[in-house]
């Protein structure tokens, strides 16, 4: 289907995300964040008794909402992903790189108490100094590491 | 109560995932172009999300707004500590390498990209490793606040 534009403009998507943050506060008095949903999903899988159930539903919802938007827009397309990397290296190598990055990211998110959504949007919107510091730190680090990757790969990445 | 909250969680998750996918934030290229300063859109997107929610939350807090299921609106603020800097730096490194973050990784998978499985599994491993090594839990800022007492005391 082609009901959505190929890419929703930032000036629509950004304010919409902002309203979702406010909305979840107004309904449940809770911050909107994704890494917390991972943590609770992990706890649910371990059958921990103190699992926050709605965050598991939230985790599943992200997946379903993403599938819906893709189906209405560009269409769901089975592929490997990471085209920019798979054109440079064999897929198993790319998988190892992505795995290493993701483990580091998960560890860091848990240590910092949030990720791009929890600290980057929701925490900054609550005017939490810790969130502003965390966000500035991961933004600056990500830009610097990307620049290093670009140098190391001779501009290919 | 729990059931209603679960449905709320599912719906907000779906709306969140929908917007992320519609804005192509689940694509490695989108994130990579932003971090290379090739295209400012994602910076503007994050900025406008904050610019929308920050003043609204401020206003609602000042008016002592009551939330539907959670009692009086309670925002949380905390002081920056070492673990925010170290954790943030690790997160930024991983973000740059994997070109995705926790929510977009889920959307990447639901859009059909198989390698997203690796990113999601890696995130689970990383979160779990930190859980095992953590001396104390981070409570009070970002999103891991659900460990706190807010929800338990807030049942209407």
Sign of the alpha-carbon torsion through B86, B87, B88, B94: positive
Reported ipTM exceeds the 0.90 cut: yes
Between positions 13 and 32 of B, the ones with CB within 8 A of A are: 13-26, 28-29, 32
CA distance A142 to chain B (A): 4
Q: What is the DSSP letter of A119?
A: I
What are the helix (H) ranges across B63-115?
82-98, 102-110
Nearest-CA neighbor of B35 among A139, A41, A54, A56? A139
Put simply, whether B75 touches A (Cβ < 8 Å) is: yes
Put simply, whether A90 touches B (Cβ < 8 Å) is: no
B46 Cβ neighbours under 8 A, 6+ residues apart: A14, A116, A120, A121
Extents of the domains making up chain B: 2-46+80-146
Extents of the domains making up chain A: 1-78, 81-157
CA distance A46 to chain B (A): 11
Between positions 38 and 57 of A, the ones with CB within 8 A of B are: 38-40, 42, 52-57
pTM: 0.91
Q: What is the pLDDT along chain B (156 residues), one digit of tens a residue?
A: 688 999 999 999 999 999 999 999 999 999 999 999 999 999 999 999 999 999 999 999 999 999 999 899 999 999 999 999 999 999 999 999 999 999 999 999 999 999 999 999 999 999 999 988 764 454 444 555 433 333 333 333
Put simply, whether B59 touches A (Cβ < 8 Å) is: no
Given an 8 Å threshold on Cβ–Cβ distance, is B67 in contact with A59? no
């Amino acid at each position: 289907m082609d009901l959505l534009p190929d890419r929703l403009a930032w000036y629509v998507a950004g304010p919409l995300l902002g309203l979702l943050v406010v909305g979840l506060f107004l309904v449940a008095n809770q911050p909107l964040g994704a890494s917390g949903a991972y943590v609770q999903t992990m706890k649910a899988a371990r059958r921990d008794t103190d699992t926050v159930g709605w965050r598991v539903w939230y985790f599943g919802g992200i997946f379903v909402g993403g599938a819906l938007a893709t189906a209405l827009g560009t269409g769901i397309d089975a592929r490997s992903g990471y085209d920019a990397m798979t054109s440079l290296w064999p897929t198993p190598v790319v998988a190892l790189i992505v795995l290493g990055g993701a483990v580091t990211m998960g560890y860091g998110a848990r240590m910092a108490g949030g990720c791009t959504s929890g600290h980057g949007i929701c925490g900054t919107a609550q005017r939490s100094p810790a969130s502003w510091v965390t966000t500035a730190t991961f933004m600056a680090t990500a830009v610097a590491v990307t620049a290093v990757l670009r140098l190391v790969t001779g501009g290919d990445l | 109560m729990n059931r209603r909250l679960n449905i709320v969680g599912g719906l907000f998750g779906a709306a969140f995932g929908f917007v992320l996918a519609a804005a192509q934030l689940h694509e490695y290229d989108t994130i990579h172009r932003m971090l290379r300063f090739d295209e400012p859109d994602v910076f503007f997107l994050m900025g406008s999300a904050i610019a929308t929610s920050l003043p609204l939350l401020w206003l609602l807090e000042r008016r002592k707004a009551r939330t539907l299921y959670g009692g009086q609106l309670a925002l949380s603020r905390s002081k920056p500590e070492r673990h925010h800097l170290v954790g943030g730096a690790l997160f930024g490194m991983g973000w740059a390498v994997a070109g995705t973050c926790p929510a977009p990784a889920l959307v990447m998978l639901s859009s059909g990209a198989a390698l997203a499985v690796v990113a999601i599994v890696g995130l689970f491993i990383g979160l779990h490793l930190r859980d095992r090594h953590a001396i104390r839990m981070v409570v009070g800022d970002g999103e891991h606040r659900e460990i706190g007492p807010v929800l338990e005391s807030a049942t209407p």
